[in-house]
Amino acid sequence: MKDNGYGFNTTLLHGVDDDTPYGATTVPIYQSSAFKQPDAETLEKIFDNKAMGFSYTRINNPTVEAFEKRVNLLENGLASVACSSGMAALFNAMVNILQAGDEVVAAAGLYGGTVELFDDLKGLGITTKYVLENNPSNYESLITDRTKLIFAETIGNPKLDITDIELVAEIAHSHNIPLIIDNTVATPYLVKPINLGADIVVNSSSKYMNGHSNSISGILTWSGRFKWDYERYPGLKPYKKFGAMSYIVKLRNGLFRNSGGCLAPQNAFYNTIGLETLGLRMSRECENAMELAEFLEKDMKMSVNYPGLKSSKYHGLADKMLSNGYGAIVTVRVGSKERAFKIINALKIPYILANIGDTKTLVIHPESTIATHLSDTEKEQSGVYDDLIRISVGIEDIEDLKQDFKQAIENSMEE
């Protein structure tokens, strides 16, 4: 890893020196389940965390490590662990430090899968309290002696509320609690949560980091800064001797290894290729999203939610906290589920599917799909309404997108 003062795009291309054989310009795919060692002693040392090295791909793999190093550099972490999906990364990041009886305080405007994960954790005796209105003081009022972590998304998917990471981190730390931030929608191109005080950052790299919808994966990044009270986090205590790395060593020697949510080397390879253009894609996608949001609000007189618009109540915070844009997710409320379906069906360019962060524009009706397993209250808290359309804006020519949305919206008004 090099801290050479490069800008974001140069860092994407040249930030990590891979020790590639034969002068290869891309990271080789080490499609190997296990790694042989010269002698029994070396393998013993690797298993005992006394030597660096690879043993078994469920624990680590050189291609996966190349991806981890890149994201670690981008998110300014001490160490990162790549997982088989964003959900696996979230599960590992949180359950690594939780046990029965613990409480989580979480923003309400979360990705539906994460709300469902919190529902699953209830079965393990871990309860979650939701912050309904995402402002810092509301987090504080839900903290109890049992609160062991605070969780939020930088930009909520699909609520598009924004977490004031700096202030929420201050509150969390004043109670000796770590803050975990899901940075999937913003990506480190817009903000690096660790620089604002977050302790662990999770990205679903299935989305913008991969960028081309060819692999499911997730990655968690540890800041190395949170000072654990090992009495409050007894699971970490046996790893105390690893100092700032205790959280990561516990994860790799415990939950991550034993729950088996490792990333396949082939998918890590796709991610390292996709990552090279993260800056270029995000820049274009954010620009397109801004222009499409303005067009839908001003010209088409729609009810649009986008942090880049002055009408968003998070616009001021977005201006303060984000650089390079406001993200590429736009939502529109169109009056009824029937009209939402009509508009979606009339669109010619966007794909109708459950994903975000592709080069192509994607649309979905969240209420009947990704949020369908949530209760009515959970839906409302997550900002999911039956007339809501979520648009993940791609890199197409903006005039084509505007014209396509125009014809679809006009179509939906005819009887």
Ligand X SMILES: *Cc1c(COP(=O)(O)O)cnc(C)c1O
**Closer residue to ligand X in complex, CB, 160/408:** 160
Tally Cβ neighbours within 10 Å of residue 333.
Answer: 16
Distance of closest approach, residue 286 Cβ to ligand X, in angstroms: 16
Distance of closest approach, residue 217 Cβ to ligand X, in angstroms: 6
Tally Cβ neighbours within 10 Å of residue 48.
Answer: 9
Distance of closest approach, residue 75 Cβ to ligand X, in angstroms: 15
DSSP structure string for 328-381 = SEEEEE-SSHHHHHHHHHH-SSSEESS----SS-EEE-GGGTTTTTS-HHHHHH
Phi–psi pair at 192, nearest 5 degrees: -110, 100
Structure tokens that stand for 262 in this block: 């490792």
**Closer residue to ligand X in complex, CB, 185/200:** 185
Distance CA 239, CA 250 (A): 6
Distance of closest approach, residue 146 Cβ to ligand X, in angstroms: 25
Distance of closest approach, residue 54 Cβ to ligand X, in angstroms: 24
Residues that bind ligand X (CB under 6 A): 85-87, 111, 113-114, 153, 157, 182, 184-185, 204, 206-207, 216, 218, 356
Structure tokens that stand for 278 in this block: 């993260």
Q: Answer whether 288's CB lies under 8 Å from 234's CB.
A: no
Q: Answer whether 332's CB lies under 8 Å from 302's CB.
A: yes
**Closer residue to ligand X in complex, CB, 151/226:** 151
**Alpha carbon 404 to chain centroid, angstroms:** 29
Tally Cβ neighbours within 10 Å of residue 111.
Answer: 24
**Closer residue to ligand X in complex, CB, 111/247:** 111
Distance of closest approach, residue 199 Cβ to ligand X, in angstroms: 18
**Closer residue to ligand X in complex, CB, 157/223:** 157
Distance of closest approach, residue 10 Cβ to ligand X, in angstroms: 27
- Please give the order of strands across the beta sheet that includes 329-333: 303-305, 329-333, 388-392, 362-364, 351-352
**Closer residue to ligand X in complex, CB, 236/322:** 322
Structure tokens that stand for 176 in this block: 């000796």
Phi–psi pair at 215, nearest 5 degrees: -155, 145
**Closer residue to ligand X in complex, CB, 112/308:** 112
